[in-house]
Structure 1
């Protein structure tokens, strides 16, 4: 049985479900002021039950539900049922379903990102999948990276970025989509976006993109140059990370760290 293939089918199914419901969804507010919808909770429950059935020894870290954490588990699945719930609830296209996969050493080894209303054409959307030990697939075909610029021209970032950094130091274009996952993978899938900037958020807002980037040789570093890692604070205490994260090819990440130092 192809366990990861079965999970991928469910991720695609949940993307179709979220897409169909987007026009009529009603948002609600959590105690912390963040937005949640009934679609978030249904997708989270479906993904968690699927992973529990396919990978019964694995950890699951989800935005919408607490689960026990076993440090000896072979895999940890980090789920965001809808990354970009705010824009999703308003009808914007910049949202996705994200699953990041860590091994027992908390190293990213795989991911699935389904963005039905994003991508390179209307018919297919964007579905990135990389199983542990496998190749990166885009819409179930081998991923072919497009040519990229040699200069820092465009950045994707959070709408909160101006609160943390002097953006006037950057004289290029800024892209804000509403999903940190989509912003992080922009240097991978959009050839004129060279880097991404992430402000403090949670493991589920990072892991899917972090996995795909690092497995393709990109870097995900804190603004002090240290690599992003999965601590107990992120996985067990479910706290947000501290600082700023830069993502992209090593050349551009180094340039961003120096620019905003």
Structure 2
């Protein structure tokens, strides 16, 4: 589904990622973990063409990804849920969802009823304005809106940011259910313990480079990962 090969990228001539290589296979959950400033979010922005590749290559469904082609990728089935969600605050829950459906481009994987069943709170608040919802409810809405586009690859940037433990658990419970519908998922998350528990594979970024990679279960028991990200 996705392949980064020796990718270096950054902003205004400053290199943030240094020869990063990673892959995401069909119906696979892949996690990227690391400290603040490690380059996790930059990796996602590079994949969708918001940050220019300085060297190396990014390929989605075996086609190169171009700089500034975010809208085209959405129509090809690659969706990013950014850290700050970027909802239409003055629109209702249902209006936000129907905006997401505009990028379907003929794909029919998810229907509205299935998505509302995944996040029942959204069904209860169909007519509520997005800007009046809690952070956790907005996160669910952002993911639901992305699902309305029937993605082939869903990327999530720090989905637990600002969420209560209860709502974080609800969001992380939904992610494997989405994967079980055949969607590939690439997730950036600072809560390493929680994301490694649901991921198939993971990459650890340090200072813009891949320091470790492997099965998520193996990384969760690695002494270096436990010491740096899992509290010992």
**TM-score (structure 1 length as normaliser):** 0.27
Higher relative contact order (CA 8 A, sep 6+): 2
**TM-score (structure 2 length as normaliser):** 0.29
